[in-house]
Amino acid sequence: MHACATSLLPPISTYLGAVGHPLPGAGALRFDDAQEQASALTGWNQDYLQLTAGTFRGELAQLQGTGIKLFIEQVQQSVFQTGVLPQNVLAFGVPLDSVGQGMFCGQVCGAQDFHVFSGSSGFEFRSAQQHTILGVELELGAGWLQTETGRGALFPAQARALHVSPAALAEVKQYLLKLFQSAHASPQLLATSAVVSTVADYLLDQVSQVVRQGETAGDTKTQWKLVQQACSLVQSQVEDAPTVAQLCVDLGVSRRTLQNSFQKVLNISPLAYLKALRLGHARRALKRMDSVTEAATSSGFWHFGHFSQDYQAMFGERPSDTLKRHHGV
């Protein structure tokens, strides 16, 4: 893993035509911690695991209305995002900018994909190293997953990436950007039920037109499921995580198969994932524990010099800096 170079993406304010200026009323926030950014997007029950090394830089702007929420989110490191939304919420995202490809619920995704985040099984998204997305949440009421949209197509009942044409994506992107800009200037717009209904009808119509166009490669889907199982095993016992060899035994696969699957889905090796998970655990522990040694040991690190180096390489600061910032010492 390598530290991220200078950002190639414009800041969120650029999308509102106000480069370098804050977004008053839009909830514009900047983050240097992936997990703190995940927590800022309320209602998603999210966890962000930073996968690539380097100082994390993120931005989030949100607009809350009645039955609708708009947000623009940017990350400057690759993160593994997991979460689950309430059953009455339809949420999807449209990429505004992306450097490289990601992986969404077992599907390779890039700049031409809708991201449908809703569904009872939740979502898993490995972002590109630099990524900006415009998201929409709509409260549609109970049972919307089982009902027709009124246009003869069942909406997908699980999170997935929907591949769309450049023209269709450009239209939706322009529509949502104009909506965000207008609502930023006049927040009461999103409190008007007629406006929200119009937006919901438009978006449901656009997405339902491509719902059957989502393509899933069999091999990729199998690899995603294997990684999903491996991550579930590790996360259930993060303080006593299994070795890669034990994971292979538990999952009944060869080390090569597990290696190839992790490289395809998360773009890192199983060993690198385990280290990233333990570093993320240590970062959270530093916010509540009284010493670096205690946080490192609880996360499985015994060589404190190596831990400090790995921590600084991953997060762009020393563990002692994190401790001081959260404990005021």
Q: What is the pLDDT of residues 284-316, one digit of tens each?
A: 999 999 899 999 888 888 788 989 999 999 999
Query: Both ends of the chain: CA-CA distance in Å?
Result: 31
Q: What is the pLDDT of residues 118-177, one digit of tens each?
A: 887 899 999 999 999 999 998 876 544 444 344 333 355 678 888 888 888 899 999 999
Task: Kindly state which CATH superfamily the domain 12-213 is placed in.
Answer: Jelly Rolls (2.60.120.10)
Output DSSP code: residue 154: B
Please, is 73 exposed, middle or buried when counting C-beta atoms within 10 Å of its C-beta (0-12, 13-18, 19+)? buried
Sign of CA dihedral 1, 99, 235, 249: negative
Report in angstroms the alpha-carbon separations of 83 from 46, 89, 145, 196: 4, 13, 18, 25
Q: Is the pTM of this model over 0.75?
A: yes
Structure tokens at 51: 């996968």
Residue 155 has what pLDDT? Answer: 55
Q: What is the pLDDT of residues 31-43, one digit of tens each?
A: 999 999 999 998 8
Residue 126 has what pLDDT? Answer: 95
Please, is 142 exposed, middle or buried when counting C-beta atoms within 10 Å of its C-beta (0-12, 13-18, 19+)? exposed
Q: What is the pLDDT of residues 210-226, one digit of tens each?
A: 654 444 445 788 899 99
Portions of the chain given CATH number 2.60.120.10: 12-213
Please, is 121 exposed, middle or buried when counting C-beta atoms within 10 Å of its C-beta (0-12, 13-18, 19+)? exposed
Portions of the chain given CATH number 1.10.10.60: 218-327
Q: What is the pLDDT of residues 176-210, one digit of tens each?
A: 998 998 888 888 888 888 788 788 878 877 776 66
Domain 218-327 part of CATH 3.30.70.260: no
16-31 average pLDDT score: 58
Residue 210 has what pLDDT? Answer: 66
Calculate the CA dihedral of residues 145, 150, 151, 157 and round it to 10 degrees: 0
Calculate the CA dihedral of residues 42, 46, 47, 51 and round it to 10 degrees: -100
Residue 329 has what pLDDT? Answer: 59
**Nearest residue to 275 (alpha-carbon basis) of 57, 77, 1, 46:** 1
Residue 5 has what pLDDT? Answer: 47
Task: Give the up-direction half-sphere exposure of residue 317: CA atoms within 13 A in the CB hemisphere.
Answer: 14
Q: Has residue 2 got a pLDDT over 50?
A: no
H/E element holding 104? Answer: strand 102-104
